[in-house]
Amino acid sequence: MITLEQCQQWDAADILAPLKNQFELPQEVIYLDGNSLGAKPKKAAEKALAVINQQWGTDLINSWNKAGWWDLPVRLGNKIGKLIGANDNETVVTDTTSLNLFKVLASAIGIQKQKDNHRKVIIAERDSFPTDLYMIEGFMAMINQGYELKLIDQPTTLPDIVTDDTAVIVLSHVNYRTGYLHDMAAVNQLAHKHGALVIWDLCHSIGAVPIDLNGSDSDFAIGCTYKYLNGGPGAPAMLWAHSQYQTAFNQPLSGWWGHAKPFDMAVNYTPAGNVRRFLCGTQPIVSMNLIECGIDIFLQTDMQALRKKSLHLTDLLIQLIEQECSGFDLTLITPREHHHRGSHVSIRHPHGYEIVQALIARGVIGDYREPEVIRLGVTPLYLSSVDIWQAVQHLKEVLQTQQWAQPQFQTRRQVT
């Protein structure tokens, strides 16, 4: 039996525990939704005021040079690169995950067409986060060149569908619903054996699990900064391109920030000879600056230490749910194997939505995903073993008392 006392002992030995003090979290709240929106670093408000009052308010347009606004996408990209196994000047922070997927997909397809135009298959998972599928569909409809989207229903079936006709594979490194973690190196090796390129969606893995894009021989990657990286709501996304593919094809969103000499004001577009060619228009400077507050906390530790704590906490969450909440029709859909588990735990229940709403009313904030999935994010930077213990006790009480059946928890909100 796992006890509260045991959880307190684990917390007393946790070398990462002091990092929680760098976040501003409401008292009496157990935040299990950092995989959807990360918590606010304490320095974020100070940073925002400095950008608004000094850089914008006082220095005005001089801040493009004086405060380094122009180089911010690459400077932040280089910091993020330390978390994902990237070299300097391979990563930029810009736009949204959806737009970045469009850019790298167009680049990957363009590279493949230059080599061999017979490859007409794009592979993705049916259980991808929907925006990925929507962007792929939109891209194929726009170019109208006979491409086919093939969807896999289980990760284990990927080797059966990849052939020499495959152009690009688009996969979420960690599945947003189940928390399944792909073996990045193995997938890359499989794809390259057949001449295909891989685009990794890192939204639910960046800042949550160790990533080595260069070491695993990856091609392209995109991802959020507002989840585990704690960049703030709607913060710009990241984009990574292997150095050999940065200039191999001109991505089609050819905005002036991606120009080789933007202030020449040339009539014709000449792309930058580096990763900056993946930039489009003027960047959202205020929100982009806030991203650095979260990244700097990560750089005080390392992803291996965070991964060790993440696995401890997700193990604990799974074990406590089974210990405390047996007999309540809960079904674990997150892999038990560490090799295939991200940093959130998902369980199914016929009344999953209502249970999540009842938990939120108690100050235990998770989220819900169709169908019937209670999703509980585990962020090692600011969660403890005692937090997990207390969250499961609340879940147990919600189930035992059927608090979830109360009328106020039955109405579906716009955001679940």
**Among all residues, which ones are annotated catalytic?**
129, 201, 226-227, 375
Rounded CA gap, 390 and 324, in Å? 11
Place of tokens 């928390």: 179
CA atoms lying within 13 Å on the CB side of residue 259 = 14
Judge contact between 229 and 239, C-beta under 8 A: no
Token readout for 362 is 């108690």
Question: How buried is residue 272: exposed, middle or buried, by Cβ count under 10 Å (0-12/13-18/19+)?
Answer: middle
Judge contact between 5 and 195, C-beta under 8 A: no
- Element at 198 (helix H, strand E): strand 197-201
CA proximity to 202, closest of 184, 223, 187, 182: 223
- Element at 325 (helix H, strand E): none
Token readout for 351 is 């009344």
Rounded CA gap, 386 and 404, in Å? 24
Question: How buried is residue 221: exposed, middle or buried, by Cβ count under 10 Å (0-12/13-18/19+)?
Answer: buried
